[in-house]
Amino acid sequence: MKANAVGEAPVKVTLRNGGYDETEYLAAISAGVHSAYTVDNAYVVITSADGTVKGPINDAAAETLKAAKTAAETAVKQAVATKLKMSVADLENASPEVQAMVAAMVQSVRNAKSMSALAAALGVPADTQISVDSSTGALTLKDAEDKTVTLNPDGIKTEDENGNTVETIKPSDVAPVDTITEALVDGKLTKDVNLASTATISEATVIDMNGHTITGPESGNVFTVSSGSLTLTNGKISVAERQNGIALGGTGAVVNLTDVDISVDSNTSGRALYVSPVGGEKLNIKGGSFSVAGQTSALHVNGTNTLPVEITIDGAEFTSTYATICPIYLAGVNKTTISNTTINGDVGIEIRNGSLTIEDGTVINCTNSTAVEFGPNGNGGTIDSGAGIVVSPHTPATVNLSVKVNAVTINNADRPIWLVNFQNVAGRTGLVQIAKTVDVPVTVNQVTKAEAGAGVWTAEENAAGNYNRYNFSQAAAPQA
């Protein structure tokens, strides 16, 4: 991973811990399990682009061991800050895992009794010359070809063999900013963004996230698209608890996502994608992942909208890790098409209004196979677990239900496709068509918590054509 978030940097900063590589170590820090990785072995390695200069320190060319250790301590902090995209001052407020890592590195430097011991503590070779500027504390490394890397408290500077500065990298160059505008250059993000407030979209907006992360504010959505369009590619969105990643909130609003990952890691009510009661929006998803750990779905279409929402999902992944919560909940008027997508949760999809078409390549993995009813629900799902696709008419529905399944694989579900009705939905009808090539069991009704007078689903006997057909009518006899 390059130290500079903009373009190709001549310096590579790597965090290591004993036998663990950088990916494993950073993952452990992020997951809060740093204690599993012995902090005594933590160190930073800094390498020039061609791999010839390695550091941060090692040789007896240093003026004194004391000066070298002081410079090394500063260099370690600066290198870690640059790697983690924060300022050196921010290290004091970093997570306990990061602070433990930095403290272990600094302590290993302080404990060194010789230059060779210092080199060993930092895990670097013994053939790089080092000099220390006593007035600034800068640490300079020079290889056999006279290429140098200088580590200052303010940044990392690389020079060629003629002493010409190639590039200077400062922690502030890669530290997150609090508005998208600050990080945007020619339509591309150049660094991570920690939003101080919601980014409201009201005109055509295109952002290449360029591999970066946008973290939402503590209060408010990450994006609210009230009109116009938002097109995002190649990045991540991290959502605060009880907030939404992207909220579509205006007729005609359009959101296009390509290879975008949105995660809500808290176990409260934040959603990755939310369609408001307004209706009339469009959502197009190509690739990416959408995950929630809380009590609402990753994709939630509000059940009170009256204008249809058009949703196309291709090649994505939706996950809910909270028990009883389905990753995709389609309560309002919608026209949704899903293909080549993986869905993980106790229930995969629940549709209560509008239309849904499922195409080739869609896989639903139920994380709890046991079929469990929630029952009548005016504000959420009606099945808690054990079903891949649930079709359950909604009381505020304004159009008739239509579901067509052309292809699907459903794993670990007692009732892979479950057609239910718990409530009086006066005047509503429904049609579910399942291709005869789809070898997935269908459960019709078989609920115990339906309200009196609730309609039922019935299977068409010997349905002609390529589909098995199931019809819903409120006028049918009540369920027993």
Q: What are 383-393's pLDDT values in tens digits?
A: 999 999 999 99
Percent pLDDT > 70 in the chain is 71
Query: Does residue 372 register a pLDDT over 70?
Result: yes
Q: How many Cβ atoms are within 10 Å of 174's Cβ, its own excluded?
A: 23
Query: Does residue 214 register a pLDDT over 70?
Result: yes
What secondary structure does DSSP assign to 54-116, as a single string?
A: EES---TTSS-HHHHHHHHHHHHHHHHHHHTTS-TGGGGGS-HHHHHHHHHHHHHHHH--SHH
Whole-number pLDDT of residue 76: 75
Q: What angle do CA 288, 294, 300 make, to 5 degrees?
A: 60
- Per-residue DSSP letter, 96: H
Query: Does residue 9 register a pLDDT over 80?
Result: no
| The pair of three-digit structure tokens given for residue 25, joined into one six-digit string | 């170590």
426-451 mean pLDDT: 93
Q: Which of 16-20, 278-282, 404-408, 411-415 has the least mean pLDDT?
A: 16-20
Residue entry with tokens 């600066």:
78
Percent pLDDT > 90 in the chain is 50
Phi-psi label, residue 151: left if phi above 0, alpha if psi -120 to 50, beta otherwise = beta
Among 7-21, 30-44, 92-106, 228-242, which range has the highest average pLDDT?
Answer: 228-242
Q: Which residues pair with 261 in a beta bridge?
A: 236, 289
* Mean pLDDT estimate for the chain: 81
Band (pLDDT 50/70/90 cuts) for residue 118 is: low
Whole-number pLDDT of residue 298: 97
Residue entry with tokens 């991290």:
238
The predicted-structure confidence for 16-35, as pLDDT tens digits, reads as follows: 555 555 566 566 655 555 44
The predicted-structure confidence for 297-323, as pLDDT tens digits, reads as follows: 999 999 988 889 999 999 999 999 999
Among 144-148, 239-243, 374-378, which range has the highest average pLDDT?
Answer: 374-378
Query: Does residue 328 register a pLDDT over 70?
Result: yes
Q: How far apart are CA 291 and CA 170, in angstroms?
A: 34
111-136 mean pLDDT: 62
Q: Which residues pair with 159 in a beta bridge?
A: 148, 165
Q: What angle do CA 422, 423, 429 make, to 5 degrees?
A: 100
What is the SS3 assignment for 232-243?
EEEEEEEECCCC
**Helix count and strand count (H, E) for the chain:** 6, 40
391-402 mean pLDDT: 82
The answer to whether the pTM exceeds 0.85 is no
Whole-number pLDDT of residue 162: 75
Radius of gyration for the alpha carbons in the chain, expressed in angstroms and rounded: 28
Band (pLDDT 50/70/90 cuts) for residue 480 is: very low
Band (pLDDT 50/70/90 cuts) for residue 65 is: low
Query: Does residue 348 register a pLDDT over 80?
Result: yes
Q: Does residue 53 or residue 290 have the better pLDDT?
A: 290
Phi-psi label, residue 234: left if phi above 0, alpha if psi -120 to 50, beta otherwise = left
Q: Which residues pair with 188 in a beta bridge?
A: 185, 208
Q: Which of 34-38, 323-327, 420-424 has the least mean pLDDT?
A: 34-38
